[in-house]
């Protein structure tokens, strides 16, 4: 609002107050004096109000600009990673794109939890249960979408949430509103990030278990022979089912209150409800995205590409990446390089270089010399050309 408009509005309020005082028996001069005393210096008030509105508009503009630029940057990174998939550049961009996507999901979920917190306020402890209900629903959705076999992570997060909520209830009367809000946001963030990165929060307590929900498309062979299959109705899953059932009821109650709230705009209501419903429909269309380690291997693709380029002089094929994802061999890249150095393909590649440079096949001793030297194909080619 402009200063002139604010001043006119204040003057109209002063005029109304003067009329009220006149009707109560005061003279117009006395009524005007009292009205001005009530409002103070209306010119100064108009100027301060105009500055406040201008500052608020600047803050909103700055926030929207930051959000827009961040969204465009994130979208550019993700699109570039998809466009250059299967290349060395794509391998560089893949982990950045993955972490960017995880960051976006985390921020959206935390923003939604914050909306729940502000809706109920942090005066009463009931906000704890609604905030944690939404956090658990989001965690279950994330785990189901990525890999349902990582359900143990939900159990760990559930224990963390119960313990954190109990501690918050004990400290409730001794901490400020800001600390209460921050505490809930931090707990939600820990649970969500652990779900996205499939990290079990309580693994430090005891030996990590290996469980799969049956039926599963991963054969329990090799290192997985020590793993166990569990049924959907196994007692291990009951705590999740009970907590999720309670959370869904709380989500429905909250949705009903949001719909009938007079303080929330229609567009805001539609967005909040749609975002909440997406948690229940996403697993139907997107599930087990990381069941065979498709996402886990992304941060290692750059090193895999480097190994193949150095040792074999080529980029890895899609089947190679899939193999490393399923077997998790990327966790032992030194062994991977050893296997590649001793492979028949490297020997054939060395022989082809000899044919190109010298016009003859390489002798077995020459091949073994370069194999044992553990130098890159590019270095071997350069070395032979310069001899």
DSSP 180-199: HHHHHHHHHHHHHHHHHTT-
231-234 contacts at long range (C-beta below 8 A, 24 or more positions apart): none
Distance (Å, whole) CA 370 – CA 341: 10
pTM of the model: 0.70
Does 247 share its domain with 304?
no
Does 65 share its domain with 116?
no
Backbone angles phi, psi at 230, to 5 degrees: -125, 150
Flag whether 175 is in a domain: yes
Does 159 share its domain with 178?
yes
Does 236 share its domain with 365?
no
Which stretches of 121-151 are DSSP H helices? Answer: 126-146
Flag whether 293 is in a domain: no
Structure tokens, 349: 């590649």
Distance (Å, whole) CA 144 – CA 32: 69
Does 192 share its domain with 322?
no
Flag whether 291 is in a domain: no
Of 57, 83, 109, which closes a domain? 83
Tell me which residue range forms the domain holding 205: 88-285
Does 174 share its domain with 247?
yes
* Beta bridge mates, 230: 213
Chain-centroid distance, C-alpha 17: 54
CB 343 within 8 A of CB 312: yes
Q: What is the pLDDT along the chain (387 residues), one digit of tens a residue?
A: 555 666 666 667 667 777 777 777 777 777 777 766 666 666 666 665 555 555 455 655 665 676 677 777 777 777 777 777 767 777 778 888 888 888 888 988 898 898 888 888 888 888 999 999 999 999 999 888 887 777 778 888 898 999 999 999 999 888 888 889 999 999 999 999 998 988 878 776 655 556 666 555 555 555 555 566 667 777 777 888 898 899 889 988 888 888 887 777 787 788 778 877 887 788 888 877 777 777 888 888 888 888 888 888 888 888 888 888 877 777 788 888 888 888 888 888 888 888 888 888 878 888 888 777 788 888 887 877 776
Chain-centroid distance, C-alpha 189: 9
Of 285, 316, 337, which closes a domain? 285
Helix/strand/coil percent split, the chain, to 5: 75, 0, 20
Does 333 share its domain with 223?
no
Does 130 share its domain with 254?
yes
Looking at the 3D structure of the chain, how many domains does it have?
3
Structure tokens, 317: 């094929």
Does 193 share its domain with 276?
yes
List CB contacts of 70: < 8 A, sequence separation 6 or more: none
Does 198 share its domain with 314?
no
Does 361 share its domain with 219?
no
Does 245 share its domain with 96?
yes
Backbone angles phi, psi at 212, to 5 degrees: -130, 140
């Amino acid at each position: 609002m402009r200063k002139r408009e604010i001043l006119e509005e204040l003057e109209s309020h002063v005029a109304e107050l003067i009329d009220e005082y006149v009707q109560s028996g005061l003279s117009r001069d006395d009524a005007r004096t009292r009205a001005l005393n009530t409002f103070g210096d209306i010119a100064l008030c108009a100027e301060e109000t105009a500055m406040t509105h201008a500052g608020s508009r600047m803050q909103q503009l700055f926030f929207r600009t930051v959000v827009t630029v961040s969204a465009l940057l994130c979208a550019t990174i993700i699109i570039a990673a998809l466009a250059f998939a299967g290349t060395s550049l794509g391998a560089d961009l893949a982990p950045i794109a993955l972490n960017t996507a995880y960051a976006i999901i985390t921020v959206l979920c935390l923003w939604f939890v914050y909306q729940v917190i502000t809706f109920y306020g942090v005066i009463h402890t009931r906000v704890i249960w609604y905030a944690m209900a939404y956090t658990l629903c989001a965690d279950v959705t994330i785990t189901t979408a990525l890999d349902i076999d990582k359900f143990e992570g939900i159990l760990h997060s559930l224990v963390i949430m119960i313990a954190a909520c109990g501690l918050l209830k004990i400290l409730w009367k001794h901490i400020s509103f800001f600390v209460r809000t921050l505490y809930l946001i931090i707990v939600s963030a820990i649970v969500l990030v652990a779900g996205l990165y499939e990290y079990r929060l309580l693994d430090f307590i005891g030996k990590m278990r290996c469980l799969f929900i049956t039926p599963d498309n991963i054969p329990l062979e090799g290192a997985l022979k020590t793993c166990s299959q569990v049924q959907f109705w196994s007692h291990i899953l009951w705590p999740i089912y009970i907590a999720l059932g309670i959370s869904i009821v709380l989500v429905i109650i909250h949705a009903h209150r949001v719909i009938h709230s007079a303080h929330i705009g229609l567009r805001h209501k539609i967005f909040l409800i749609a975002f909440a419903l997406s948690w229940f429909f996403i697993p139907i269309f997107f599930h087990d995205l990381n069941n065979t380690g498709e996402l886990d291997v992304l941060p290692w693709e750059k090193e895999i590409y480097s190994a193949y380029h150095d040792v074999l002089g080529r980029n890895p094929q899609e089947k190679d990446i899939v193999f490393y994802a399923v077997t998790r061999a990327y966790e032992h890249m030194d062994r991977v390089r050893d296997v590649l150095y001793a492979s028949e393909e490297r020997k054939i590649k060395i022989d082809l270089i000899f044919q190109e440079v010298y016009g003859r096949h390489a002798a077995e001793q020459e091949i073994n010399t370069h194999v044992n030297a553990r130098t890159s194909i590019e270095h071997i080619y350069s070395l032979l050309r310069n001899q």
